[in-house]
Amino acid sequence: MAAAEKCKKKTEGVGVVTISESLVKRLETGEGDAKEQEARQAATDEEWMKKLKCMDDYHTEEHGLTFANFNKVLSSTEREIALATKEFVPCHDKVRDLIKCYRQFKKCSLMCSREVQEFVNCVDETKKEMETSARNKNKINEITSDTVL
């Protein structure tokens, strides 16, 4: 008996894992595994969602990606486009009048013939002015290139 007790004492605790009664019950019945796993997964998901939200909030603030900043940039861009359109679109007032007329006389576009003619005349005049301006620039370039040599 003494040898058996010695052997028992030597092997006791080596390679032995103690488990709780609740774990034994779950292993025997299979209950609680799915519920606990779902709860753990939900807690992990919630923790990661909080971390991601924090990172997103920091990134948004750091780079000025808020709705307020977006709206500021949008309104600024709209103003710049409106100014550029007025400055660089020839006959913009004639275009506006023509569109207004077409909207007023949707079913009878012939009523807008006067506005169409005014627009065409404006485009022709603008084209002539641009050609004259281009010719004058070419003449100036020729004169300056001759005097520099």
Please give the pLDDT value at position 42.
Answer: 92
Neighbours of 70 (CB within 10 A): 11
Mean pLDDT of the chain: 81
Whole-number Å distance between alpha carbons of 149 and 144:
9
Q: Which of 56, 71, 88 is a domain's end point?
A: 88
Please give the pLDDT value at position 88.
Answer: 67
- Is residue 42, in this structure, part of any structural domain at all? yes
- Is residue 2, in this structure, part of any structural domain at all? no
- Is residue 110, in this structure, part of any structural domain at all? yes
Q: What domain range is 63 assigned to?
A: 35-88
Whole-number Å distance between alpha carbons of 130 and 144:
21
Specify the pTM: 0.39
Residue 148 in this model has a pLDDT that exceeds 60 = no
Count of structural domains, the chain:
2
pLDDT over 90 for what percent of the chain?
Answer: 30
- Is residue 69, in this structure, part of any structural domain at all? yes
